Amino acid sequence: MTNDPIARWAINHGMYVMGVDTPRAFNASYLDHTLAGGIAERIQCPTLVCDAEEDIFFKGQPEQLYDHLTCPKTLMEFTTEEGAGAHCHPGAMRLSISRIYDWLDDTLAAAA
């Protein structure tokens, strides 16, 4: 963490999000979050799963979640070419928010 600002941010932010005080506790907190036991299969509402082409934090995890879902589901992929290929799509926020809101509009209209 001393020499890598990305690791420092990721671990400090992760400790904040998980409500823990040490990097070790942060890493251990991941054990509480798993697809084991059919948890994703219990989701019933339409679900949007977003993926970024060059996500350095969670590569492959959106697809794993998507594959476990049995509800109506959409996998929305964001590319580097669009400027949205990084985790959370910071290079193309307007594009990503627009596509996500369009999905919400379509999904809520279909449910009405």
pLDDT tens, position by position, for the chain (112 residues)? Answer: 899 998 999 999 999 999 999 999 999 998 888 888 899 999 999 999 999 999 988 899 999 999 999 999 999 999 999 999 998 888 899 999 999 999 999 999 998 8
Candidates 75, 64, 8, 78; CA nearest to 35 is 64
Q: What is the DSSP letter of 90?
A: G
The CA-based diameter of the chain, rounded to the nearest angstrom, is: 52
23 with 49, same domain? no
Which residue in this structure is represented by tokens 């400027």?
83
Predicted TM-score (pTM) of the model is 0.81
45 with 64, same domain? yes
27 with 54, same domain? no
Domain span at residue 1 reads 1-33
41 with 16, same domain? no
101 with 46, same domain? yes
* Phi and psi torsions of 49, nearest 5°: -115, 120
